[in-house]
């Protein structure tokens, strides 16, 4: 084998290590994704051509290996300890006093603070800079050897940067799964009939303890280092004074440390830090259960020593838990705009992560079956990030004798119409259509909403009153409202009534696209409505379209086409549309251009970065009006990339592939030249 091949292989490994550290651990991207992929492919090819030169620490070796029968036990050289806990500011102040007294120091102590990640502890062993072993915490004394799985975690370096590493270095940290990735992973498992995980911590622990590392490699595990454990080597480069500096060193040799890591002086600054993290908790993107506070000086740490199984120099400030036990009091069934019936759990109110929770969604019958839940059960509710509270588990052993089954209604709880469940779909629906007051209310709320007919002043409460008092029975009735009808309503004075009537009148001047969207046809969102308007140009053309004609519209597939057809075939809907037009709703004509005359016909355009003048969806719809196909990824075939603010890897890729890059301004000029401004 020639030396140049060998050098290239080494160079590729070095580059890929560097790029993936930047990407996974520093959240910056040095090169476009495509460049990374190209180098990676080149390395895979070279390694397979020259197997003599393979290396278990190559970046290509993260794909998982043969399944194990069981994990080997491994005894930690230094036990993996736990932390003392503080729940109040007072307890933090006492902690500070204990330390100051014990150190006999009048100076303010320096502390290193960081979020306490809610994952599983993992210990990584590096020998001369190479990852040799990864061990779970286990009982703190003995853990399991999960090396194969740890090697599949992209943020775990297989090889440390630089030279002169300690002969042995143990890095301790937390393996975890970010919230968004956790939701995706669970959706996927449920979709393929597998069981889901109750929370990201269980998912991380389950993934790390997979005997089949191929499965582990498909799990979105991350690793964040929080301390140096054991180490060995005399010409040691490790900092001898500060915990904070050691963590920086770990980052410099390729590990991830918390971006929120901070060194502060004095306990007041610690308390302030804790408040800051608590405020940010819902936006972090990963679950934390508190803040870990450590004395920064290694000399002071040593002087303070340990009590039982925890260091005296550290403490965990615990945040309110994001899972709590409560009781399922009842289940109500809510009916949405399209008739979808959602079971909603009514819970005994409970504080979860600092917020009172008294409702949680139960999604559908499948979820009820999966949980085997009954009314009266003790359940675990979970609230994290900004997602709706969920019931994640049932404590069947605490089930009371009088627990009742949850009976999914066979008739709509609001209008009494039949409930149907299409085979293959999880959702059950009321068949009452707009005869159902619940669906009617939701349809009207949608009809008047900002992106639809945009009737200002017609809020949810008012819609409910109007429907309940039977002042409106269809959306068309909105246009028959008058002063005497409105004046009789709650909290409606003459002035606001007049304002509302004006807003209703003003909404008559609209666009065909808004009108189509406002009808609330299933699966027809704004973008589809705009495509339909642009494609057919007039309402009659749309109403009379065949299935084939509908399928010819950009982004209209079989399901949407069928929803459109059944909506327009329904006599009641036809009557409402006629009545709406009779009430004066109108829109300017759309001149249809032959496809060939559209300036972007047959071309693919990619949007990236943040646009200033309009949202992504609006820009997309307008580009489509000009005939473009709008795609999410850049390739050599891309016609142009529109780059807004902070455009990242897609812009880089476009430049690399010589794809023209337009500014937002250039796109706007194109819009106005073609009358889609
Ligand atoms: S320090 C002696 N720092 O919390 C030092 N632990 O109760 C012990 N954890 O299972 C650990 N984030 O896995 C430390 N930034 C952090 C942490 C952290 C999460 C976990 C750790 C351990 C538990 C300690």
**Domain check: are 339 and 276 in the same one?**
no
Evaluate if residue 217 carries a pLDDT over 90.
yes
Task: Kindly give the distance from the C-alpha atom of residue 266 to the centroid of ligand 1, in angstroms, as a whole number.
Answer: 21
Beta 340-352 vs 355-361: how paired, if at all? antiparallel
**Domain check: are 195 and 271 in the same one?**
yes
Task: Kindly give the distance from the C-alpha atom of residue 175 to the centroid of ligand 1, in angstroms, as a whole number.
Answer: 11
Q: Which atom of ligand 1 is nearest to the CA of 310?
A: 2
**Domain check: are 166 and 273 in the same one?**
yes
Mean pLDDT, residues 452-471: 94
**Domain check: are 93 and 187 in the same one?**
yes
**Domain check: are 234 and 92 in the same one?**
yes
- Token pair of 142, please? 């003995």
**Domains contained in the chain, number:** 6
Evaluate if residue 234 carries a pLDDT over 60.
no
Secondary structure element (H or E) that encloses residue 381, with its range: strand 378-382
Residue of 176, 229, 284, 316 to test ligand 1 pocket, by largest number of atoms within 8 Å of CB: 316
260, burial (CB in 10 Å: exposed 0-12, middle 13-18, buried 19+): middle
Q: What is the pLDDT of residues 126-152, one digit of tens each?
A: 999 999 999 999 888 999 999 999 999
Evaluate if residue 614 carries a pLDDT over 70.
yes
292 CB near ligand 1 (under 6 Å): yes
Mean pLDDT, residues 546-557: 89
Rounded Cα–Cα distance for residues 342 and 419 (Å):
12
Domain hosting 341: range is: 323-420
Beta 640-643 vs 378-382: how paired, if at all? unpaired
Q: How confident is the model at residue 596 (pLDDT cuts 50, 70, 90)?
A: low
201 CB near ligand 1 (under 6 Å): no
Q: How confident is the model at residue 268 (pLDDT cuts 50, 70, 90)?
A: very high
Alpha carbon distance, N-terminus to C-terminus of the chain: 62
226 CB near ligand 1 (under 6 Å): yes
What is the per-residue pLDDT for 166? 87
Residue where the block lists tokens 């963590």? 247
622 CB near ligand 1 (under 6 Å): no
What is the per-residue pLDDT for 65? 79
Q: Which atom of ligand 1 is nearest to the CA of 227?
A: 1
- The 3-state secondary structure of 618-637 reads HHHHHHHHCCCEEECCCCCC
User: Which of 486, 506, 526 lies at the terminal end of a domain, its last residue?
Assistant: 506
**Domain check: are 336 and 476 in the same one?**
no
Q: How confident is the model at residue 195 (pLDDT cuts 50, 70, 90)?
A: confident
Q: In the 8-state DSSP scheme, what is residue 319?
A: P
Q: How confident is the model at residue 633 (pLDDT cuts 50, 70, 90)?
A: confident
277 CB near ligand 1 (under 6 Å): no
- The 3-state secondary structure of 636-660 reads CCCCEEEECECCCHHHHHHHHCCCC
Task: Kindly give the distance from the C-alpha atom of residue 197 to the centroid of ligand 1, in angstroms, as a whole number.
Answer: 22
281 CB near ligand 1 (under 6 Å): no
Residue nearest ligand 1's atom 18 by CA: 116
Residue of 112, 120, 140, 174 to test ligand 1 pocket, by largest number of atoms within 8 Å of CB: 174
Residue of 138, 225, 226 to test ligand 1 pocket, by largest number of atoms within 8 Å of CB: 226
**Domain check: are 135 and 18 in the same one?**
no
Answer for the pair 170, 228: CB distance below 8 angstroms, yes or no: yes
Whether 77 maps to a domain, the answer reads: no
Q: CB 411: neighbour CB atoms within 10 A?
A: 13
Mean pLDDT, residues 453-469: 94
| CATH at residue 8 | 1.10.287.610
User: Which of 285, 318, 351 lies at the terminal end of a domain, its last residue?
Assistant: 318
Residue nearest ligand 1's atom 10 by CA: 121
What totals of helices (H) and strands (E) does the chain contain, helices first?
24, 26
137 CB near ligand 1 (under 6 Å): yes
The full DSSP string for 412-467 is -TTT--BEEE-TT-S-EEETTGGGSHHHHHHHHHHHHSTTTT--TT--HHHHHHHH
**Domain check: are 216 and 92 in the same one?**
yes
261 CB near ligand 1 (under 6 Å): no
Whether 426 maps to a domain, the answer reads: no
Mean pLDDT, residues 578-582: 95
**Domain check: are 230 and 327 in the same one?**
no
Q: Report the share of the chain in percent with pLDDT over 90.
A: 66
State how far Cα 641 lies from the chain centre. Answer: 26
Evaluate if residue 480 carries a pLDDT over 80.
yes
Answer for the pair 26, 225: CB distance below 8 angstroms, yes or no: no
Whether 469 maps to a domain, the answer reads: yes
User: Which of 318, 347, 364 lies at the terminal end of a domain, its last residue?
Assistant: 318
Task: Kindly give the distance from the C-alpha atom of residue 84 to the centroid of ligand 1, in angstroms, as a whole number.
Answer: 10
Rounded Cα–Cα distance for residues 418 and 410 (Å):
6
Mean pLDDT, residues 214-241: 88
| CATH at residue 575 | 1.10.150.20
- Calculate the alpha carbon distances from 242 to 106, 248, 267, 300 in Å: 19, 10, 18, 10
Rounded Cα–Cα distance for residues 399 and 372 (Å):
11
Rounded Cα–Cα distance for residues 253 and 169 (Å):
12
What is the per-residue pLDDT for 314? 97
The full DSSP string for 291-312 is EEEEESBHHHHHHH-EETTEET
Average pLDDT of the chain to the nearest whole number: 91
Rounded Cα–Cα distance for residues 531 and 627 (Å):
10
| CATH at residue 600 | 3.40.50.10190
Mean pLDDT, residues 258-276: 97
Whether 129 maps to a domain, the answer reads: yes
278 CB near ligand 1 (under 6 Å): no
Q: Clarify whether 116 is annotated catalytic.
A: yes
Whether 429 maps to a domain, the answer reads: no
Whether 299 maps to a domain, the answer reads: yes
Q: What is the pLDDT of residues 72-128, one digit of tens each?
A: 999 999 999 989 999 999 999 999 999 999 999 889 999 999 999 999 999 999 999
Q: How confident is the model at residue 61 (pLDDT cuts 50, 70, 90)?
A: confident
Pick 579 or 656 by higher pLDDT. Answer: 579
Residue nearest ligand 1's atom 1 by CA: 226
Evaluate if residue 254 carries a pLDDT over 90.
yes
Phi, psi of 113 (to 5 degrees): -120, 145
Whether 91 maps to a domain, the answer reads: yes
Evaluate if residue 415 carries a pLDDT over 90.
yes
Q: What is the pLDDT of residues 640-675, one digit of tens each?
A: 999 988 887 888 889 888 899 999 999 999 998 887
Q: How confident is the model at residue 307 (pLDDT cuts 50, 70, 90)?
A: confident
**Domain check: are 88 and 234 in the same one?**
yes
Answer for the pair 40, 60: CB distance below 8 angstroms, yes or no: yes
- Calculate the alpha carbon distances from 607 to 283, 619, 638, 677 in Å: 26, 8, 11, 17
Answer for the pair 426, 364: CB distance below 8 angstroms, yes or no: yes
Answer for the pair 445, 462: CB distance below 8 angstroms, yes or no: no
What is the per-residue pLDDT for 609? 86
**Domain check: are 103 and 248 in the same one?**
yes
Residue nearest ligand 1's atom 13 by CA: 121
What is the per-residue pLDDT for 675? 78
Residue 641's DSSP bridge partners are: 606, 661
Q: Considering only 214-218, 388-392, 516-520, 551-555, which range has the smallest mean pLDDT?
A: 551-555
Q: How confident is the model at residue 320 (pLDDT cuts 50, 70, 90)?
A: confident
Task: Kindly give the distance from the C-alpha atom of residue 3 to the centroid of ligand 1, in angstroms, as a whole number.
Answer: 46
| CATH at residue 227 | 3.30.470.30
Mean pLDDT, residues 340-351: 95
State how far Cα 529 lies from the chain centre. Answer: 27
Whether 72 maps to a domain, the answer reads: no
Rounded Cα–Cα distance for residues 623 and 670 (Å):
9
Q: Which atom of ligand 1 is nearest to the CA of 120?
A: 13
Q: Which atom of ligand 1 is nearest to the CA of 174?
A: 13
Q: Which of 75, 116, 280, 445 is catalytic?
A: 116
Strand order in the sheet with 629-631: 629-631, 604-608, 640-643, 661-663
Evaluate if residue 29 carries a pLDDT over 80.
no
Evaluate if residue 212 carries a pLDDT over 80.
yes
What is the per-residue pLDDT for 235? 54
**Domain check: are 246 and 144 in the same one?**
yes
Closest CA to 304 of 552, 6, 84: 84
Task: Kindly give the distance from the C-alpha atom of residue 395 to the centroid of ligand 1, in angstroms, as a whole number.
Answer: 28
The full DSSP string for 13-49 is HHHHHHHHIIIIISS--SS-HHHHHHHHHHHHHHHHH
Question: Which stretch, 109-118, 200-209, 550-559, 569-578, has highest mean pLDDT?
Answer: 109-118
Q: How confident is the model at residue 433 (pLDDT cuts 50, 70, 90)?
A: confident
């Amino acid at each position: 084998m020639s030396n140049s091949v060998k050098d290239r292989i080494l160079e590729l490994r070095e580059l890929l290590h560097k790029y993936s550290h930047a990407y996974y651990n520093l959240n910056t991207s040095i090169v476009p994704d495509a460049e990374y992929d190209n180098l990676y492919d080149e390395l895979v090819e070279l390694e397979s051509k020259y197997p003599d030169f393979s290396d278990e620490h190559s970046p290509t070796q993260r794909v998982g290996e043969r399944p194990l029968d069981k994990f080997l036990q491994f005894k930690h050289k230094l036990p993996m300890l736990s932390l003392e806990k503080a729940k109040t500011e007072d307890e933090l102040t006492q902690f500070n006093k204990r330390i100051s007294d014990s150190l006999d120091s009048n100076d303010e102590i320096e502390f290193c603070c960081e979020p306490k990640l809610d994952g599983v502890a993992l210990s990584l062993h590096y020998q001369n800079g190479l990852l040799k072993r990864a061990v779970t915490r286990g009982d703190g004394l003995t853990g399991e050897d999960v090396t194969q799985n740890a090697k599949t975690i992209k943020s775990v370096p297989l090889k440390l940067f630089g030279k002169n590493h300690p002969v042995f270095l143990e890095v301790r940290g937390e393996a975890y799964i970010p919230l968004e990735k956790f939701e995706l992973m669970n959706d996927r498992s449920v979709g393929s009939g597998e069981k889901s995980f109750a929370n990201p911590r269980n998912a991380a622990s389950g993934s790390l303890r997979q005997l089949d590392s191929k499965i582990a490699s498909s799990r979105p595990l991350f690793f964040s280092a929080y301390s140096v454990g054991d180490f060995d080597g005399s010409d040691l480069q490790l900092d001898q004074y500060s915990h904070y500096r050691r963590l920086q060193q770990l980052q410099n040799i390729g590990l991830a440390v918390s971006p929120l890591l901070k060194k502060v002086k004095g306990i007041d600054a610690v308390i302030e830090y804790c408040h800051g993290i608590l405020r940010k908790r819902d936006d972090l993107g990963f679950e934390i259960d508190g803040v870990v506070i450590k004395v920064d000086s290694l000399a002071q740490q040593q002087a303070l020593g340990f009590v039982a199984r925890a260091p005296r120099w550290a403490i965990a400030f615990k945040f309110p838990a994001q899972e709590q036990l409560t009781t399922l009091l009842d289940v109500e069934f809510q009916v949405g705009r399209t008739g979808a019936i959602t079971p909603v759990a009514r819970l005994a109110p409970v504080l979860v992560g600092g917020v009172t929770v008294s409702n949680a969604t139960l999604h559908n019958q499948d979820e009820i079956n999966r949980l085997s839940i009954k009314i009266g059960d003790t359940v675990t509710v979970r609230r994290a990030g900004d997602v709706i509270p969920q019931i994640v588990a049932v404590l069947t052993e605490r089930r009371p004798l009088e627990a009742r089954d949850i009976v999914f209604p066979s008739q709509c709880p609001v209008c009494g119409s039949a409930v149907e469940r299409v085979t293959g779909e999880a959702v059950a629906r009321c068949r009452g259509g707009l005869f159902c007051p619940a669906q009617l209310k939701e349809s009207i709320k949608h009809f008047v909403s900002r992106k639809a007919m945009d009737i200002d002043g017609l809020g949810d409460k008012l819609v409910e009153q109007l429907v309940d008092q039977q002042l409106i029975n269809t959306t068309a009735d909105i246009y028959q409202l008058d002063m005497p009808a409105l004046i009789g309503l709650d909290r409606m004075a003459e002035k606001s009534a007049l304002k509302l009537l004006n807003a209703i009148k003003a909404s008559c001047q609209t666009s065909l696209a808004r009108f189509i969207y406002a009808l609330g046809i299933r699966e027809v969102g704004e973008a589809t409505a705009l495509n339909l308007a642009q494609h057919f140009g007039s309402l009659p053309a749309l109403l009379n379209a065949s299935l084939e004609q509908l399928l010819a519209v950009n982004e209209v597939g079989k399901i949407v086409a069928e929803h459109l057809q059944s909506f327009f075939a329904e006599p009641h809907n036809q009557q409402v549309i006629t009545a709406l037009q009779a009430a004066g709703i109108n829109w300017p004509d759309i001149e249809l251009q032959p496809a060939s005359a559209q300036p972007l016909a047959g071309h693919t355009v990619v949007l990236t970065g943040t646009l200033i003048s309009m949202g992504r969806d609006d820009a997309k719809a307008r580009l489509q009006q000009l005939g473009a196909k709008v795609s999410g990824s850049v390739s050599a075939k891309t016609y142009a990339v529109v780059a807004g603010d902070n455009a990242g890897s897609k812009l880089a890729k476009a430049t690399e592939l010589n794809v023209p890059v337009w500014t937002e301004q250039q796109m706007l000029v194109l819009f106005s030249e073609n009358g889609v401004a």
